Structure 1
């Protein structure tokens, strides 16, 4: 479980092989589990530039033995740097030369010892109230079980939005079990969920690996309650204004986006519904964007059995002309349902809005071109 004091600090791990071995991927996962704000860098110059560009943030840096002699002299005097940890194979190679740098707090060989030392130092640093910049607190996301494409991050213009996935491209493709390991502190029984879907993903279609297909199945899996469902928690995190909350999801995000990239994009009208009238939020001509995944169907009759839409009462039906939807039914946990997934980074325009009577409103949306492409 992440230690609360570390929210005031960003932990950086610099290693040129950070993404190139099972051991290093395991190290990444443990760092994401242990600390709230973690950045992974493989290039020394990029790491140094990042630290120098954030004078308002307090950093602790873990650096490999290979890169330690190169970067430490260049960053040691930066006021935002509170501590350095050399994570290496042989302590003896660094004990003598490192004595000249007071901010080096430890030379460590074992991962458990490294994490324990950083946690101990964080408690001390927090008590001394060193200058730091707290990440933006997570916003209070209301329980919108009938959430539509708009989402909490929707805006009038896509130019008002910043891609929340910054940095995910630096992580590697891993197995589903490895990808969900950092999520155990957020999602109860996520290991059990992953095991269930993995058992049903043997020799999947469309050229997907077992892990890639299972990543889609996990996203579509229903659980005992909506609040415990994987995709509910995932999209809630995507909607959060605190982008640091998304970093533990990067391994899973990388895996599911890789899986979806292998599926052909479809151009057709798809449907999504909610059991309330939200038409006043969609005036004609409005342009908005979403950074969450959006579940739709290409069969309108499917919505009759959807508890978030139904057959009676106030309802809003969205008809969406999409050109980047992914037909995921063949990889969904329940393959009997017609399911189309719209990826994050999509931009839409409201074409028209119609009161169809019987408390039903129809909103016509059209997908627009966007600079973000996760296919």
Structure 2
């Protein structure tokens, strides 16, 4: 099987699973052999989420020019302040939900989640909504990755809700015994090499 950079993974849909598993196991790019639509859809949703997670940008603030370094750092701080502290208008939220419905038109799974979120947003906590297999996770990560200010302006209400919950959890935690948390993400060899060469640089 010829592999190209544009192909991330392959799923085999067939009627004879055992037969095709024999040759499929020799190709690492093949993620599985499936005989029904439901299981292949579950695998696709799981892998799409992992790919979206891996696409979260990692920026290494390195520069021989202190002026350029300060500008890069300042931009990241300005974006953070904008998302966390700027006022939210109900119309922005309405526009975002309208945009989400248009983006997922024809996708009954996501459209149903959007309806549930609009009807009862407090049914789950902001963190639970974000970590759920739904439109909020993919839309927010994509906007952050592309620095899409238009989408970030509309979704900042949700960023603020997540931030408020994190702050609340932190205030209730044991400050004398802080916990260490980890974030797993696949990265390219080139990015790994850059990280190793810039151990004392700022990473965002």
TM-score range, shorter chain: 0.3 to 0.5
TM-score normalised over the length of structure 1: 0.28
- Higher gyration radius (CA): 1
Q: Which has the higher helix share?
A: 2
